[in-house]
Chain A
């Protein structure tokens, strides 16, 4: 079974530019999550999709971040315009769905975003 994949693995952009990160969850996993770790801090939750619907976006830092999951398969996370404090590693995770039951989440390798 293929794991969670993310693209790109590393992105370097200038402040003010736009970047789009992509996540492909494990096949059949309806739950998809985005997390972020900024340097020196713990991994923090950004948002949770169930299929194509946003279940919880309480962790999104501001309206410069836009996540989509059209068709309930892969997801994109767009940062526009990027700021220096957006630098960090963005992780995607997926899990099986069974209503409110919490299954373990499987993580992708992350996208390292550097904003200069």
Chain B
């Protein structure tokens, strides 16, 4: 069974700190990894990573995939209170033998980030 593990499960920092969130996976026929941010309701899409070693960046957030280590990290620099949220990691697998299970995302438990002023 596919497995996605995030660490730490929770993290408390102060504004201005830099944080690194981790995601590791065990997925048959891995295809891509996605990061989402969930504040109150809907998880919002951050990044989709398919190629190893290529950093994706959006403002103070960046992420990179390491296919050799079966993992990804999400970095947030100069954190702000608005970064407080649950950060979710999810993976797509490639086509299975039957060619049907290509749309499902497998999620990790999430990392709860709290940024204090």
Contact = CB atoms under 8 A, between A and B. Distances in A.
Chain A bound to chain B:
yes
The size bracket of the interface on B is: 20 to 34
A95 B32 CA distance: 15
Interface string B34-51: 101000111111001000
Given A42-B110, A43-B88, A104-B48, A110 B103 contact: no
Given A48-B104, A55-B100, A100-B102, 6 more contacts: A33-B104, A41-B109, A45-B105, A58-B101, A102-B31, A102-B103
Contact of A33 (B34, B99, B103): B103
Given A42-B108, A43-B107, A102 B42 contact: no
A42 B103 CA distance: 17
A72 interface: no
A42 B107 CA distance: 6
Given A42-B109, A43-B88, A100-B95, A106 B45 contact: yes
A106 B45 CA distance: 7
Contact of A3 (B42, B48, B109): B42
B81 to A, nearest CB: 22
A108 interface: yes
Nearest to A49: B103
Contact of A104 (B34, B41, B107): B34
Given A102-B31, A104-B48, A31 B42 contact: no
A104 B109 contact: no
